[in-house]
Amino acid sequence: MILIGMLHHRENPEKVIKAYAYNAVAKAEGADFFYFTPGKVNISTETITGKTYENGKWIEKEFPYPEVIYNASPPISEKASEIYEYLAQRIPFTSHSIGNKVSVFNRIKSGKNFSQYLIPTIEANNARTVFDVVDTYTQVIFKPVTGRQGGGILYIEKEDENSYKVNEAGSLSNFSKSQLQTAIKERIEERDYLIQPFITCKIKSGHVYDLRLHVQRDGEGEWNVTSIYPRIGPLGSVTSNISSGGYSCLLDEFLKNEFEDYWYNIKRSLEKFAVLFSRHFAALYDNISFDEFGIDVGIDKNQKFWIFEVNWRPGIPVIFNGELDVARNTIQYAKYLAKSKSERKTEQP
């Protein structure tokens, strides 16, 4: 049987909700499974002290190196990073980081096939750059290059030469040019930012929204849609992240309500877009494998798709009970990676 290791920074798998689901699915899929942290890797003996679920509890055991690793979280220390790098050189990881928002934008742009779906993106190296973009587009989004769950995002709208409306997490403020310049400088000094024209994607009620396309590779290594769901922001907000007060609902009902007779065509277009984009995007990286993407897209008033963001380790709202679907696909893909590695070894002279 194939041995799969789940690598996570938390010591206790009981505090990682999906660990149980992955353990259960692995057993159902005919694979052995254990959970471990970087600190439990013994390089000298090439063994790992991990935990497996037996008879209602997690049991600690010693395991050989697994044939594939599901890297469920990034390293959180320099020492952990060294262990991750050491393991990744010897054992296939199911996924890898895709880079920050700017590098992802540049990669898609250079790939050309999907560049028409990109929102123009400029690195905000100074306040002058920000004001130049605001002057050009009037309404912009100013957000961190590396960030999660919509944190640190500002919507900026120019009203006149010395008056700007700013929305941060649903809180509206009016800034003079000098006040806004100071606020921008303070943020840029703390972290890297980018700026984009604001693309209006709103439902009939006025709430902003986007659509999360969750795509995974299966046991044959092929890309498939796991789920598509809308993320709807609170009224007055410019972001639709569920963790920031947004909500979701069933896709079919959402599309029927918003697009009426066109809903089914849009659904099929989203599904096709998700798979074709994932194939193309993954191919833009040399010798790196990916098991899943979370692609955030918007649809404007002309029904044009826009790529807002691409995530390499997306979550899924608990309301959809999709943990087992996601786990099944990941475990099947992990088995595919292990099998592919074994076949390559056999073919070597």
The domain segmentation of the chain, as residue ranges, is 2-95, 101-117+202-312, 122-197
Topology given in CATH for the domain delimited by 101-117+202-312 = D-amino Acid Aminotransferase; Chain A, domain 1 (3.30.470)
Rounded CA gap, 269 and 228, in Å?
12
Q: What is the pLDDT of residues 69-116, one digit of tens each?
A: 999 999 999 999 999 999 999 999 999 999 998 999 999 999 999 999
Rounded distance between C-alpha atoms, residue 104 and residue 280, angstroms? 13
Q: pLDDT confidence of 346, banded at 50, 70, 90?
A: low
| pLDDT at res. 348 | 57
Per residue in 125-175, pLDDT tens?
999 999 999 999 999 999 999 876 667 889 999 999 999 999 987 789 999
The whole-number pLDDT of residue 289 equals: 87
CATH number of 122-197: 3.30.1490
DSSP-H helix ranges across the chain: 17-28, 78-88, 101-111, 127-137, 177-190, 251-259, 263-283, 323-347
pTM: 0.90
Per-residue model confidence (pLDDT) at position 12: 96
Average pLDDT over residues 12-31: 95
What pLDDT score does 338 carry? 94
Percent of the chain at pLDDT exceeding 90: 79
* Top CATH class, 2-95: alpha beta
Query: With bands split at pLDDT 50, 70 and 90, how would you rate the model's confidence at 344?
Result: confident
pLDDT computed for residue 194 by the predictor: 95
User: Is the separation of the CB atoms in 70 and 2 below 8 Å?
Assistant: no
Residue pair 174/165 in contact (Cβ under 8 Å)? The answer is yes
